[in-house]
Chains A and B, each alone.
Chain A
Amino acid sequence: MGKNIITTPRYGKNFKDRLYLPAIYEGCKVTFKHFFTNINNSNAVDTLEYPEEQPSDITSRYRGLHRLTHRADDTIACVACFMCATACPSDCIFIEATERDDNKDEKMPKSFSIDTLECIFCGYCVEACPCDAIRMDTGIFSLTGNSREDFVLNKDQLLSYKGAFGEENSCARS
């Protein structure tokens, strides 16, 4: 038995605790206080009227919807290396590569689509990308649609999203 052993006293054995009613009274005091303060001024309740009010506290590390970045001259940064599709644990990135004719790189994606219904937003694709071409910094946290096809984002949609936290272009390719 070392010195560091601390014996905590056992509560709940005296008469007041075994009676249970004083504890109910104490608990009711807390809930009743919350209830009456909130009902007196329900506009002071610290909640967000969500669809009208949008959250303003999304941090720059928030993994939102994906986007494909541009180079400084507005061409696509992606070189269709398939690293993101390989890293993806839910196999939701579909890339078709094609030859690039603007002398920037050898390859580019002909089509690049992400099935956001399959995606688990783990961010492995962002980690895997050697070109900083795919990012999750759009700050978009909700995606709505009327059919399953609406949730499969194609290359043009992914390119159209803007970064929400300042960094616009790819940092790896210029």
Chain B
Amino acid sequence: MSMASIIVAITAFVLGALLALLTIPVLVWLERRTAGLVQDRLGPNRTNIFGFRLGGVVQSFADVVKLLIKEEYYPSHIKIGRWLFMLSPIITFTAALLAFMVIPFADTLIIDGEALRMQPLPVEYGVFWYLAIGSVGVIGVIFGGWLSHNKYSLLGAMRATSMVVSYELPLGLAIISFIVTYNTVDFNAMVQYQTDTLFGFLPSWGVFLQPLASIILIVALFAETNRNPFTVAEGESEIVAGYMTEYSAMKFAMYFMGEYVAMNTASAVIITMIFGGYQLPYVSTQMLLENFNYFAYALIVLVPAFTWWMISFMRKNNRVRPSVTTDSGRIFETKVITIFLLFLAVVVDAILLYLSLIPNVLATQIAVTMIQVVIFVLKLMAFNMFFILIRWTLPRFRYDQVQSLGWNYLLPLSLFNLFVTAIVVVGVN
């Protein structure tokens, strides 16, 4: 173990933990603001610290504080399996968190001939790890619903179980067709496979190679994360809160956060498997490393342009409405954030200019890795937005409809797709 490998391992782990945990408040905020904007209202935009509201994201932190200091209520009718009752939210949360840990954020760093993987868990069987750990999450849901000794919770757990038996099989079969296509179970190798081009003009993303399996994968992952249109395990109008009826305070928050981590994980898996992961289309890591100067020049132009766009967006939208007379610190906030963004743009530009003028192999590698991490985060957030917008678009499925969809349509389709894939792969080779 060299020094570099230890540093890279720690960096990757911290990055993974931050990406999984720090996105929770951001996702909660995104969900609420998006719901508001889709429904022609504004969503939470009031909470602030010294006048800094950051578009309302402070609300999520206030919610966390509220949930932490809330009364820890423990239902007295639960006599058997108390410890499992307490454990089940932790199972759900931990499973979602662990499943995220095999996603590569950037290409493998090669320092002094040593290949260092940019994964929190540097394993080569990432797909198996994801399938094994990702499915554990629902066990926490079932345990929680069963041990609550509550009819509504039990119904929620039963529905969750019905979901598992209907979507896990198509999900696995869709993933097998990807494994057959890419000929690997390593997420990083999958991403590298997708940097080629298809027919000379399309990036060889999984979504173009395997359109049917991609749709099945996305549908099954929507079901796995318990998101709309597959929110059958909970339903306010039918079974109160479903499996989490008896949970309060931080126990409830664990389920709640686990749902968002699972959504994040599902987005990460989708972009890694079928949308080219951390890579830009058409651009491989080798190309980035060899022609770093040109990319740096392009970024030197793009970063100020993006900053200017962000500032103009903020100046347009972070204003006091004409009908309101009080300002409550919006102008000051806009001013401070504008200065901060300009400073950031100048720093990034200076670093890029320095790197492009004075070539340095290690620094270039690190810069390329950082660019790939940024691309990964952008893609991740874009797909999370897709998840959220779908939630506010579609009505819910009844849980027998979910089963019918899983068994009657997705399973035959995924089997057919696997069959065709196998024939094509064998025929081509």
Knowing A34-B37, A41-B316, A42-B42, say if A49 contacts B321 (CB, 8 Å).
Answer: yes
The answer to the question of B110 belonging to the interface, with a C-beta cut-off of 8 Å to chain A, is no
Q: Which of A21, A30, A38 has the most CB of B within 10 A?
A: A38
A42–B56 alpha-carbon span in the complex (Å): 13
The answer to the question of B112 belonging to the interface, with a C-beta cut-off of 8 Å to chain A, is no
Chain B interface residue count: which class? 20 to 34
- Residues from chain A with a CB closer than 8 A to the CB of B34 are 35
Q: Mark A20-34, 1 if CB is under 8 A from B, else 0.
A: 010010011011101
Knowing A47-B42, A52-B326, say if A31 contacts B321 (CB, 8 Å).
Answer: no
Contact present for B324 and A24 (CB under 8 Å): no
- Residues from chain A with a CB closer than 8 A to the CB of B39 are 34
**Given pairs A24-B394, A31-B38, 5 additional interface contacts (CB within 8 A):** A34-B37, A38-B37, A38-B38, A38-B40, A43-B317
A28–B390 alpha-carbon span in the complex (Å): 7
Least CB separation from A24: chain B residue: B394
A39–B42 alpha-carbon span in the complex (Å): 9
A131–B38 alpha-carbon span in the complex (Å): 50
- Residues from chain A with a CB closer than 8 A to the CB of B42 are 42, 45, 47
Least CB separation from B317: chain A residue: A42
A28–B37 alpha-carbon span in the complex (Å): 14
* B positions within 8 Å CB-CB of A: 34, 37-42, 215, 316-317, 319, 321, 323-326, 389-390, 392-394
Contact present for B324 and A53 (CB under 8 Å): yes
Knowing A34-B38, A35-B389, say if A41 contacts B317 (CB, 8 Å).
Answer: yes
A21–B317 alpha-carbon span in the complex (Å): 34
- Residues from chain A with a CB closer than 8 A to the CB of B37 are 34-35, 38-39, 42, 45
- Residues from chain A with a CB closer than 8 A to the CB of B40 are 34, 38, 45-47
- Residues from chain A with a CB closer than 8 A to the CB of B394 are 24, 27
Q: Mark A37-61, 1 if CB is under 8 A from B, else 0.
A: 0110111011101001100000000
* Min CB gap B303→A, angstroms: 22
Least CB separation from A39: chain B residue: B37
19 residue pairs of the A-B complex, CB under 8 angstroms, read: A21-B215, A24-B390, A28-B390, A30-B393, A31-B389, A34-B37, A34-B39, A38-B38, A38-B40, A41-B317, A42-B42, A42-B317, A43-B317, A45-B41, A47-B41, A49-B321, A49-B323, A52-B324, A52-B326
A76–B230 alpha-carbon span in the complex (Å): 62
Q: Which of B41, B321, B389 has the most CB of A within 10 A?
A: B321
Contact present for B393 and A31 (CB under 8 Å): yes
* Min CB gap B166→A, angstroms: 16
A46–B321 alpha-carbon span in the complex (Å): 11
A17–B39 alpha-carbon span in the complex (Å): 26
- Residues from chain B with a CB closer than 8 A to the CB of A28 are 389-390, 393
A54–B326 alpha-carbon span in the complex (Å): 13
* A positions within 8 Å CB-CB of B: 21, 24, 27-28, 30-32, 34-35, 38-39, 41-43, 45-47, 49, 52-53
- Residues from chain A with a CB closer than 8 A to the CB of B317 are 39, 41-43
Contact present for A52 and B325 (CB under 8 Å): yes
* Min CB gap A43→B, angstroms: 6
* Min CB gap B196→A, angstroms: 27
Contact present for B393 and A49 (CB under 8 Å): no
Least CB separation from A38: chain B residue: B37
A49–B319 alpha-carbon span in the complex (Å): 12
A43–B45 alpha-carbon span in the complex (Å): 12
Contact present for A24 and B319 (CB under 8 Å): no
A52–B45 alpha-carbon span in the complex (Å): 14
A34–B317 alpha-carbon span in the complex (Å): 16
A34–B39 alpha-carbon span in the complex (Å): 7
- Residues from chain B with a CB closer than 8 A to the CB of A34 are 37-40
- Residues from chain A with a CB closer than 8 A to the CB of B392 are 31
A31–B316 alpha-carbon span in the complex (Å): 22
A39–B56 alpha-carbon span in the complex (Å): 14
Q: Which of B38, B42, B215, B389 has the most CB of A within 10 A?
A: B38
* Min CB gap B11→A, angstroms: 34
A56–B41 alpha-carbon span in the complex (Å): 18
A112–B25 alpha-carbon span in the complex (Å): 51
Closest 4 CB pairs of A and B: A38-B37, A52-B324, A31-B393, A27-B393
A27–B389 alpha-carbon span in the complex (Å): 10
